[in-house]
Structure 1
């Protein structure tokens, strides 16, 4: 598997999705602002998405993909892998239905435990419960999407799964536009968020239909049958349970952040969401793409007892990740103000909302390289059927996160909250790398370390250029929306040009490999 090609496929489609995500959040910010309805919607949106990361993209994915891959490339081939998937689906669907129904029933108590401060604002708590019930069925649909995506990824068909979030964002954009259309002149925001929360669940159904068609196209027929706890299903469960606990620690951290954020001034959840939208662009395009591409490839190397190939693949992923993530994080920090002003400020999203969001973004991106590295290092454990070690490192990081939040939030508010998360992510990264290194699974090669150091140098040159340019285009930054967007285009263009040129000249990239890839015919890639 060509890691660069696979990452490019996933990353390119994820980039398109993130662009539509920008459009979605720009509309959301301008239609709703950062008020009561916006905060209630952000909470409702977080609940199924947090569980999605826990089950669908977390524990289930990392357990299912290696098992399906081994069966697909083993003696039984596609028929055995297909039969395994049918057994999993038949057990998975009833569990998901029961879990979803349970949460729809207990939603008032769950929201109360998470955001009791909402009761201090008339109607806010009740609205949050209502919207959460509309949005939560999304979890059922997207969990099935994860199973289908795992099948396709194991067959090196990365495009359909990576393109599904595009449909998600298009559906939500439609919901915002419909809600805005239905809102009476001078009316409140309730109808907008009601429609939008319902469209969250609808987007899951749309993605499920999309992936189901591609799986059928690959010749795999998945039919529901009487649930059977076969040996393979039980083995999957034994892998999922510790993985769920490990992924659960990350999501508990998200719930803890939400718990503290709801105790800060109204609008905090919206400020966090808008800052994270900008942060998610490089995180999704680079981190998720590399993490998705590397897991099945690492599994194949390890099944073949090719530890050297596995170490080389992980080193290539880390080098590529830092090549793209370091300049992205630095550029987001330097250009946070213009980016937030250009994309979000306007309508009901005030300049003060923009100032707070920009400050949050500058702190979030401190942890961006760490978040990406974690997504690359963890497959090194999961591919070896070790789901316990990431649990303990995540638990340690969670403890660090909570301690830092308690120490910082009283003095620094929302900035202290995100600073604690960034510090905990770096702590987790160092723990994961230290354990992989100690076990001999992966150590940073000298050539890779040297190029990362040169990437930092090229990033520094880019930061200097961006600061100089920013100081000379103040007239654009102070203008209207079109002028601000023009300023952003200038900053992005110059940043890319300076970083790319300096990185190439000083050897921050593997020029020999890049030239080899450029010389290859597409069929040989």
Structure 2
């Protein structure tokens, strides 16, 4: 009965996160469309995307890495133990020390912006100057998002999944509104001001949501009985590993900035499309399964830990398999229907779609890598996870350099990414085999085989469509192309749902079972 209740709660939580993340990704695509339409794949757009990527990558250290790797286990332990005052003080400590770190960082970015942008890019002097002007605003955004993530960590621990997942929508809405209505008067700086306002709104919303659970923000510098020290040790391990990931991303953008004009924008926009299905399903599944794995390890329930890890891996494949197929065969259509407008030409769209297709090959690999890394954090192997992150990043950089040397151009970046994460995944499987022997998980193997068979109808339909070599999407972004893309996408989803129903794929079966239980209760 206990396991059944947890399963139902997990599924409901996953759906909540999934819906909010879907809205966030759709707004992200709309944001990219507006920026692309206004600034095109021009030098200005390249500078905006490049400069914003600097704090956005550091967000993975101070926000995503901290939340996924350290905060949740410690906050969960305090809350479950009824030590809410210590949890409140721990939140205050984290916010105080983040402010002490970010305020000087923002000041430094103002005075050292030009040499920093010049060091990390191959931009001309005027582009470097623009990037330096934008950077301090984007660093303020980093500070607000990082502190807001601390609040979101508490919200997840209190199972307030909606508020934690809704907050990021405010940032996207702010940027969309700011750029759309103020670009004529402010130019590229409309993005800078909108980013600061959006980050502030996101952080404030999360804080007011946390206040509903009795938490209050205050200045604190002494731990006073809180698990601040072990949390910081775990956080430092996570940040070190994430730092190498950031370095890899910065080098990837540096490589892209040295290629033809528009390469940075194509690289950046391809990631937006790639992250739409990936972010939706990865966040929905991992952000729910990670706290459960941490609890299982703390309680010494290895069997439950292995079951949760295997189930999460299967759920990721359940959604990412069809996502890969649909987006791979409809990449030209999707990119053109969304971005090909204004100054964003067909050539720009096709380049973005081509980069996207290569990134898609690593989608499931990267998701599994991320899940197993969370499993490592759950069992307190932060040091090993950091070493694996360093190895993966080093391999990524090496592969990029080699592939670019042999003339592959911009597609060298996604190919190198897939290769390095695959090797990293293999290393994680070996390191964690004593905790979760994935190669002996027959339940997972049978589930994956069923998933592959269940996705064959969708694959066949997409191959058939691709063989027709239609070019209707080349007219660009308009209601007609958008309608046809939606129609094709819904057809693919319908085929997938029907096939999954026939083969009794677990996740959808649970959803349908819940609906049936509700109907039975009403009767």
TM-score band w.r.t. shorter chain: over 0.9
Q: Deviations over 1:482-508 (max 9, x none)?
A: 221122122112211222222322344
Asked if structure 2 preserves the Cα contact closer than 8 Å seen for 1:466 and 1:491, the reply is no
Q: Mark the CA change 1:469 to 1:440 in structure 2 (over 3 Å): closer, same or farther.
A: closer
- 1:188-207 mapped onto 2 (5 Å cutoff): 191-207=186-202
Compute the RMSD of aligned alpha carbons: 2.2
Asked if structure 1 preserves the Cα contact closer than 8 Å seen for 2:86 and 2:226, the reply is no
Q: SS at 1:123's partner residue?
A: helix
Q: SS at 1:221's partner residue?
A: coil
Q: Mark the CA change 1:262 to 1:478 in structure 2 (over 3 Å): closer, same or farther.
A: closer
- 1:468-487 mapped onto 2 (5 Å cutoff): 468-469=464-465, 474=470, 476-477=472-473, 479=475, 481-487=478-484
1:140 maps to which residue? 143
> C-alpha displacement at 1:471, in angstroms?
5.3
The yes-or-no answer on 1:372 pairing with 2:367 is yes
Candidates 494, 497, 501, aligned match of 1:497: 494
Candidates 169, 194, 198, aligned match of 1:166: 169
Candidates 423, 432, 437, aligned match of 1:436: 432
Distance 2:65 2:440 in 1: 26
Deviates more, 1:349-358 or 1:294-303: 294-303
Distance 2:313 2:492 in 1: 22
2:399 maps to which residue? 404
Candidates 232, 241, 245, aligned match of 2:236: 241
1:265 maps to which residue? 260
Distance 2:467 2:438 in 1: 44
Distance 2:324 2:165 in 1: 23
Distance 1:498 1:426 in 2: 29
Candidates 61, 75, 78, aligned match of 1:71: 78
Q: Mark the CA change 1:292 to 1:510 in structure 2 (over 3 Å): closer, same or farther.
A: closer
1:506 maps to which residue? 503
> C-alpha displacement at 1:268, in angstroms?
1.0
- 1:299-448 mapped onto 2 (5 Å cutoff): 299-410=294-405, 411-440=407-436, 445-448=441-444
Q: SS at 1:34's partner residue?
A: coil
Deviates more, 1:353-362 or 1:404-413: 404-413
Aligned pairs, how many? 512
Distance 2:37 2:98 in 1: 39
Deviates more, 1:468-477 or 1:191-200: 468-477
Candidates 113, 118, 121, aligned match of 1:112: 118
Q: SS at 2:145's partner residue?
A: helix
Candidates 77, 86, 106, aligned match of 1:80: 86
Asked if structure 2 preserves the Cα contact closer than 8 Å seen for 1:452 and 1:508, the reply is no
Question: Structure 1 stretches of 5 or more lacking a match?
Answer: 183-190
Candidates 280, 283, 289, aligned match of 2:284: 289
Distance 1:440 1:30 in 2: 48
> C-alpha displacement at 1:12, in angstroms?
0.7
Asked if structure 2 preserves the Cα contact closer than 8 Å seen for 1:61 and 1:147, the reply is no
- 1:225-240 mapped onto 2 (5 Å cutoff): 225-228=220-223, 232-240=227-235
> C-alpha displacement at 1:473, in angstroms?
9.0
Question: Could you state the TM-score of these two structures normalised by the residue count of structure 1?
Answer: 0.92
Asked if structure 1 preserves the Cα contact closer than 8 Å seen for 2:296 and 2:304, the reply is yes
> C-alpha displacement at 1:104, in angstroms?
3.1
Asked if structure 1 preserves the Cα contact closer than 8 Å seen for 2:329 and 2:466, the reply is no
> C-alpha displacement at 1:477, in angstroms?
3.2
- Misfit runs of 4+, over 6 Å: none
> C-alpha displacement at 1:408, in angstroms?
0.8
Distance 2:259 2:474 in 1: 30
The yes-or-no answer on 1:278 pairing with 2:283 is no
Asked if structure 2 preserves the Cα contact closer than 8 Å seen for 1:24 and 1:169, the reply is yes
Question: Structure 2 stretches of 5 or more lacking a match?
Answer: 1-5
Distance 2:434 2:102 in 1: 39
Q: SS at 1:224's partner residue?
A: coil
Q: Deviations over 1:190-245 (max 9, x none)?
A: x3211112211221111111011101112222212455586622222211222111
> C-alpha displacement at 1:476, in angstroms?
4.2
Candidates 121, 125, 141, aligned match of 2:128: 125
Q: Deviations over 1:230-287 (max 9, x none)?
A: 6622222211222111111211111111121111112111101111111111111011
> C-alpha displacement at 1:38, in angstroms?
0.4
Distance 1:58 1:255 in 2: 17
Distance 2:164 2:262 in 1: 33
1:157 maps to which residue? 160
